[in-house]
């Protein structure tokens, strides 16, 4: 996939910071974040979750640092983590300083909770001296009471103003390695806040709909907000905030970036038709079986499962590999070209076998190895299906006759 050829709006130019080895902003790839749900003092349990998140596409992982035991845990976690670790700080300046001592690669401060200017500037100074970036994590649910009252609620303007005030404290101590988030649980408010933030700051923006909730609603809300902004060129890193296993957050973030063409495909992308009256097989069942079988292989490939041999290969010709179902048979195709005809009960097995070969040998090699008689077999199946249904399924012939009568006057 050529991620440089995206039809989305051009990405907004921002400053670039480094969260450990991960660059954020500028021309760096948009990164995926998540947060552990374990007690940070549980070093082995937290590391296990961090590895699981990294395996599903998380580039950066945040851990809470709310007590001394958590900071001590971070000192052991950071050197063993496969990805940079950000410490989540809410109320205690001591915990921010302790997390820096533990060697974290980033801090997240909530302006609504850590409010004393001298404490904010102290943390910024310590982070500056260590080269550790800070995220100004504004949240609609924890705005400073003065800002909330001044703006009449958690409005987009209030969220951006909170970030602006925090940034001013940082600038007083010459600290500039900052990224900003202005999250809200309302998708509409979140979108408006980030649009305003993108006009106000040149710092990288961390996208997210906060407290989105459990699946599937939380996933829909998160996608509605994050995808809208990414399509407009806004955003440098993101996190889905789901009431679910955090692995779901990492998986969702990575998948979103892949389907938008903003990151190279890392794993399977299975597309399937929604099924209709022309389908000769249980498309949903076959698609689910193929999803399970192919997901286990974690191959970076796009696979299509189509219920109709008449239109399927053409509709999914962009897929690396696909199968279109006819009567008791399936047409296996690569980039829209029929390469083999298989029995209905062998369709999933054939997809798995061919997917492995495509990844190992390449598309051109597999096309060269195709069954030379497969296209003729497939055409016979298509003709039989059209004949069985009594007409062409798209009513093209009927339309052509009407066009001719109109043209003849």
**Residue 107 main-chain phi, psi, to 5 deg:** -125, 150
Domain residue limits, the chain: 3-259, 269-389
Q: Tens-digit pLDDT profile for the chain (409 aa)? A: 444 445 799 999 999 999 999 999 999 999 999 999 999 999 999 999 999 999 999 999 999 999 999 999 999 999 999 999 999 998 899 999 999 999 999 999 999 888 899 999 999 999 999 999 999 999 999 999 999 999 999 999 999 999 999 999 999 999 999 999 999 999 999 999 999 999 999 999 999 999 999 999 999 999 999 999 999 999 999 999 999 999 999 999 999 999 999 999 888 899 888 877 666 678 888 999 999 999 888 889 999 999 887 777 777 888 999 999 877 889 999 999 999 999 989 999 999 999 999 999 999 999 999 999 998 988 888 787 766 654 454 566 677 778 888 888 6
**CA nearest to 371, candidates 325, 334, 322:** 334
The CA-CA-CA angle for residues 317, 319, 323, to 5°, reads 80
150-154 CB contacts, 8 Å cutoff, 24+ apart: 154/184, 154/189
| Structure confidence by residue, pLDDT tens digits, 126-175 | 999 999 999 999 999 999 999 999 999 999 999 999 999 999 999 999 99
Q: Residues in the chain, how many?
A: 409
Query: Do 231 and 257 form a contact (C-beta atoms < 8 A)?
Result: no
Q: Which CATH superfamily, name and number, covers 3-259?
A: Dihydropteroate synthase-like (3.20.20.20)
Cα gap 301→88, rounded to integer Å = 36
Q: Which CATH superfamily, name and number, covers 269-389?
A: Sulfite Reductase Hemoprotein, domain 1 (3.30.413.10)
Give the end-to-end CA distance of the chain in Å, rounded to a whole number: 50
Q: What is the pTM of this model?
A: 0.84
**CA nearest to 137, candidates 168, 105, 178:** 178
Tokens of 79: 């050197």
Q: Is 254 helix (H, G, I), strand (E, B) or coil?
A: helix
Q: Is 122 helix (H, G, I), strand (E, B) or coil?
A: helix
Helix axes 156-172, 117-130, angle to 10 degrees: 60
| Structure confidence by residue, pLDDT tens digits, 194-244 | 999 999 999 999 999 999 999 999 999 999 999 999 999 999 999 999 999
């Amino acid at each position: 996939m050529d991620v440089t050829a995206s039809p989305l709006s051009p990405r907004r130019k921002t400053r670039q910071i480094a969260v450990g080895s991960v660059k954020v902003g500028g021309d760096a790839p948009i990164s995926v974040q998540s947060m552990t749900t374990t007690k940070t003092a549980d070093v082995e349990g937290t590391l296990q979750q961090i590895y699981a998140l990294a395996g599903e596409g998380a580039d950066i992982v945040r851990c809470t640092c709310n007590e001394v035991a958590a900071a001590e845990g971070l000192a052991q976690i950071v050197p063993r983590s496969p990805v940079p670790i950000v410490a989540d700080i809410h109320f205690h300046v001591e915990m921010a300083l302790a997390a820096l001592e533990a060697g974290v690669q980033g801090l997240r401060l909530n302006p609504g909770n850590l409010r004393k200017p001298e404490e904010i500037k102290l943390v910024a100074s310590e982070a500056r001296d260590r080269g550790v970036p800070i995220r100004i994590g504004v949240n609609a649910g924890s705005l400073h009471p003065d800002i909330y009252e001044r703006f009449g609620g958690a409005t987009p303007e209030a969220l951006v103003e909170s970030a602006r005030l925090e940034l001013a404290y940082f600038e007083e101590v010459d600290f500039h390695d900052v990224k900003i988030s202005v999250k809200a649980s309302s998708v509409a408010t979140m979108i408006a806040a980030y649009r305003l933030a993108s006009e106000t700051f040149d710092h990288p923006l961390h996208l997210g709909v906060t407290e989105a909730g459990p699946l599937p609603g939380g996933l829909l809300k998160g996608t509605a907000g994050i995808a809208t902004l990414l399509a407009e060129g806004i955003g440098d890193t993101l996190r889905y905030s789901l009431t679910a296993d955090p692995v779901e957050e990492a998986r969702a973030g990575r998948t979103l970036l892949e389907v938008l063409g903003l990151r190279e495909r890392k794993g399977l992308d299975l597309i399937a038709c929604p099924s209709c009256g022309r389908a000769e097989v249980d498309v949903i069942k076959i698609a689910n079986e193929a999803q399970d079988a192919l997901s286990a292989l974690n191959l970076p490939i796009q696979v299509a499962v189509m219920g109709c041999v008449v239109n399927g290969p053409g509709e999914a010709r962009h897929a690396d590999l696909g199968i279109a179902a006819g009567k008791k048979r399936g047409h296996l195709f690569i980039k829209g070209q029929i390469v083999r005809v298989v029995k209905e009960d062998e369709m999933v097995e054939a997809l798995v076998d061919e997917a492995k070969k495509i990844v190992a040998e390449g598309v051109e090699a597999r096309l060269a190895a195709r069954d030379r008689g497969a296209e003729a077999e497939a055409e016979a199946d298509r003709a039989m299906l059209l004949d069985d249904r009594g007409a062409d399924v798209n009513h093209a012939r009927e339309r052509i006759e009407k066009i001719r009568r109109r043209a003849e006057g």
